[in-house]
Amino acid sequence: MSFILHGIGVSEGIAIGHAHLAAPAALEVAHYLIPKDQIEQEISRLNSAFSTVRKELETLQASITSGPAIDEFSAFLDLHHMILDDPMLSDAANKCIAQSYCNAEWAITQQMDVLLAQFEEIDDAYLRERKIDVIQVVERVLKALLGHPGYVPPPVKHAGDRILVTQDLSPADVMQYKQHQFSAFLTDAGSSTSHTAIVARSLNIPSIVALHHARHLIFENDYLIVDGSQNVVIVNPDKYVLSEYRLRKTQQELEKRKLKRIKSVATMTLDKTPIELYANIELPEDVEQVKESGAAGVGLFRSEFLFLNRDVLPDENEQFEAYREVAVNMRGLPVTIRTFDLGADKSLKGHKQISDNPALGLRAIRLCLAEPQLFHTQLRAILRASHFGQIRILIPMLSNASEIDQTLHLIEYAKQSLRDEKVAFNEKILVGGMVEIPAAALCVDMFIRKLDFLSIGTNDLIQYTLAIDRVDDTVAHLYDPLHPAVMWLVVRIIQAANRAKMPVSICGEMAGDIQFTRLLLGMGLQQFSMYPAQLLTVKHQILQSHLPDIIPLTNKIIKADTPEKIYGLLMKLNK
């Protein structure tokens, strides 16, 4: 039977292929019977999975040698050790295999259910919540049993024409899927500016999120058409729809190929105003795509992705090599390294989220200032790499003067430590700040006085201005880049920076969306940073834009106060 599902398209393009369903959690396990003569073997399989996890926890413990949260983190690892060693889990699961002849995965999840039921009976809310630790330990054992890290599905033969269908993906999961080369991602949860969507977009494959029931309505191997531009998935299409989409897909690929012709054309508007287009990256290997796009440099290197999916965090040398690789490969073009923006939806492996509102919690620069040793390691690595190219430092989530002062002080401290060791670095390295909290936007003049450049993070600026959680699909319809309050803030940041002759860019998703290109040009923006696959499309729009025509219409849009007026004027602007 053919049917259509609607969601939010987060990465454009058409993919056609077979569905591959990934379990939403490792806890969805198979149940099968073990022949009597293999029971011993099954028990020892489970025991060796326990040993693997024990070793993983020990390695993790050994990697945490400093930092203010060391005690808390150690206590959390001790608790996991205790759960792992508890006979209620291991012995009972072994008994279950011996008595019921069931597979190890099934035995351990059955025993977990018994323990969780006991936790439910506990009165103390804090202790009751420790059931999450039991789940995490069992997940680790399951991963060890299945022989793979994270929720990566078993390798499929022709991943290239496979479409991944899953409940949800964390940014870390998406990074792991990178090597599997699926031709599209479909998730039941998610929203368009979640980090998951951003990473999917950077992979340059069609993706649709917020499908709600895809995981239950689509079966393994169903034939699918994914249209990321029209937000639809067509399940088991008939032959007419299929041939229509094959044609559209070929046409889109042709258009993309044609765009390559403008790669080396200078980026300027029709009235000859030069514009700079930069690329956003997550990992050093993304530089290949950046070069293909003809970008003027890297406008945002989300360095926190180096820290995800890791049992042991990257040390100074490993980080240095990664930053140097990017700087060298970009051959002297600017590379803007954002110091790690961990927290919220990008947490370190094994770190429990203790805040009810992680997006408002210990994230990005707040975490760096709370963990100065981690920050110092990264700053030294970036500074060392600055000797090999044109590296700039970008600080995320700044909200007040004291955070800027502390950050600049720590950068100076890292510089001094290198000077003492006679290690070369760029003394004049530029330090910029992300303007992504309304407080920063409202006090932008203070940011301009203290920093060398600004980058507007519209993804978070919109989230915090409109009080919309960017990862919550139930409020995704309220996430509006054209809300007058958002436009008011963006235009004032750009104008203040332009008045002070301070470089300002936008590195949020708005910069790569061509429906906003002319609006942003009209506001005075001259630097855009976006995912590389979108760069030539934005460039094409810029080459066909004439600022003297755009500015009066932009001024009208900024002053308009109803969505009807705003969208009507925007259509006129983009004609």
Q: Using the rule CB under 5 A, which residue among 153, 457, 481, 522 binds Mg ion?
A: 457
283 binds, among Mg ion, ligand PEP, none (CB under 5 to 8 A by kind): none
Nearest residue (CB) to ligand PEP, 340 versus 375: 340
At its nearest, how many Å lie between Mg ion and the CB of residue 279?
17
Number of residues assigned to the chain? 575
**Angstrom distance (rounded) from CA 545 to CA 539:** 10
Residue 297 in contact with residue 505, Cβ under 8 Å? Answer: no
Q: Please identify, using beta-carbon distances, which residue of 437 and 560 lies nearer to ligand PEP.
A: 437
Q: What is the SS3 assignment for 3? A: strand
Q: List the one residue from 42, 436, 469, 473 that touches ligand PEP (CB under 6 A).
A: 436
Shortest reach from residue 15's CB to ligand PEP, in Å: 24
Q: Smallest distance from the beta carbon of 438 to ligand PEP, in angstroms?
A: 12
283 is a contact residue toward ligand PEP (CB under 6 A): no
Judged by beta carbon distances under 5 to 8 A according to partner kind, the member of ligand PEP, Mg ion, none in contact with residue 139 is none
- Tell the smallest beta-carbon distance from residue 13 to ligand PEP (Å): 21
Q: Is 376 in the site for ligand PEP (CB under 6 A)?
A: no
Q: Is 458 in the site for ligand PEP (CB under 6 A)?
A: yes
Task: Compute the least distance from the CB of residue 172 to ligand PEP, in Å.
Answer: 14
Rounded to the nearest whole angstrom, what is the least distance from the CB of residue 236 to ligand PEP in the complex? 36
Inter-residue contact 7 to 150 (CB < 8 Å): no
**In this structure, are residues 346 and 367 in contact, taking their beta carbons and an 8 Å threshold?**
no
Q: Give how many residues touch ligand PEP by CB under 6 A.
A: 11
Joined tokens for residue 339: 């110091």
Closest approach of Cβ 508 to ligand PEP, in Å?
A: 3
Residue 459 contacts ligand PEP per CB under 6 A = yes
Binding status of residue 407 toward ligand PEP by CB under 6 A: no
Q: How far is the CB of 35 from ligand PEP (least distance, A)?
A: 51
Q: Which of 454, 458, 476, 451 is nearest to 520 (CA)?
A: 458
Residue that has been written with the tokens 């639809």 in this structure: 232
Instruction: Mark 290-329 with x for binding to ligand PEP (rule: CB under 6 A) and - for no binding.
Output: ----------x-x---------------------------
- When asked if residue 171 is in the footprint of ligand PEP (CB under 6 A), the reply is no
Looking at residues 235 to 274 of the shown chain, list those that interact with ligand PEP (rule: CB under 6 A): none
Query: Please, which residues have CB within 8 angstroms of residue 246's CB and are 6 or more apart in sequence?
Result: 16
Tokens of 137: 């330990």
> For the window 381-420, what string marks contact with Mg ion as x by the rule CB under 5 A?
----------------------------------------
Query: Is there binding between residue 289 and ligand PEP (CB under 6 A)?
Result: no
Structure tokens at 518: 């002319």
For the chain, how long is the longest CA-to-CA vector? 83
227 binds, among ligand PEP, Mg ion, none (CB under 5 to 8 A by kind): none
Give every CB contact of residue 216 below 8 A, 6+ residues apart in sequence. none
Q: Does 11 bind ligand PEP (CB under 6 A)?
A: no
Q: Stretches 162-170, 350-358, 457-465, 475-483: which one binds ligand PEP (CB under 6 A)?
A: 457-465
Closest to Mg ion by CB, 111 vs 280, is 280
Residue 508 within binding range of ligand PEP, rule CB under 6 A: yes
CA distance 201 to 184: 10
Between 465 and 554, CB nearer to ligand PEP:
465
First to last CA, the chain: 40
**Alpha-helix runs per DSSP H in 260-371:** 287-293, 316-329, 365-370
Both tokens assigned to 51? 């040993």
Residue closer to ligand PEP, measured from CB, 83 or 308: 308
The one segment of 18-26, 248-256, 374-382, 454-462 that binds ligand PEP by CB under 6 A: 454-462
Tell me if 473 contacts Mg ion by CB under 5 A.
no
Contacted by 302, from ligand PEP, Mg ion, none: CB < 5 to 8 Å by type: ligand PEP
List 56, 282, 436, 473, residue binding Mg ion (CB under 5 A): 436
Q: Which are the contacts of 57, defined by CB distance < 8 A and separation ≥ 6?
A: 77, 80, 81, 84
From the list Mg ion, ligand PEP, none, pick the one residue 469 interacts with, judged by a Cβ distance below 5 to 8 Å according to partner type: none
Task: State in angstroms the smallest separation of the CB of 413 from ligand PEP.
Answer: 26
Q: What is the DSSP letter of 449?
A: H
- Contact yes or no for 427/415 (Cβ under 8 A): yes
Distance CA 329, CA 287 (A): 7
Q: How many residues bind Mg ion (CB under 5 A)?
A: 3
- 79 alpha carbon, distance to own chain's centre: 29
Q: What is the 3-state secondary structure (H, E, C) of 228-269?
A: CCCCEEEECCCHHHHHHHHHHHHHHHHHHHHHHHHCCCCCEC
What is the distance between the alpha carbons of residues 108 and 97, in angstroms, rounded to a whole number?
A: 9
Q: Are 165 and 215 in contact (CB under 8 A)?
A: yes
Structure tokens belonging to residue 141: 């054992």
**CA-CA-CA-CA torsion for 322, 326, 331, 335, nearest 10 degrees?**
-120
Q: Show which residues are catalytic.
A: 195, 507
Q: In what order do the strands lie in the sheet with 232-235?
A: 3-6, 232-235, 223-227, 14-21, 162-166, 184-187, 207-209, 8-11
The pattern of x and - marking residues 325 through 354 that bind ligand PEP according to CB under 6 A reads ----------------x-------------
Q: What 3-state class would DSSP assign to 368? A: helix
| Residue of 348, 507, 533, 573 interacting with ligand PEP (CB under 6 A) | 507
Indicate which single residue of 206, 297, 343, 457 sits in contact with ligand PEP (rule: CB under 6 A).
457
User: What DSSP assignment string belongs to 511-545?
Assistant: GG-HHHHHHHHHTT--EEEE-GGGHHHHHHHHHT-
Residue 188 within binding range of Mg ion, rule CB under 5 A:
no
Binding Mg ion (rule: CB under 5 A), the pick from 42, 168, 371, 460 is: 460
Taking CB under 5 A as the rule, does residue 227 contact Mg ion?
Answer: no
Candidates 568, 73, 118; CA nearest to 347 is: 73
The nearest distance, CB 346 to ligand PEP, in angstroms, is 8
* Matching residue, tokens 């309505």: 217
User: Which residues of the chain form contacts with Mg ion (CB under 5 A)?
Assistant: 436, 457, 460
User: Which residues of the chain form contacts with ligand PEP (CB under 6 A)?
Assistant: 198, 300, 302, 341, 436, 457-460, 507-508
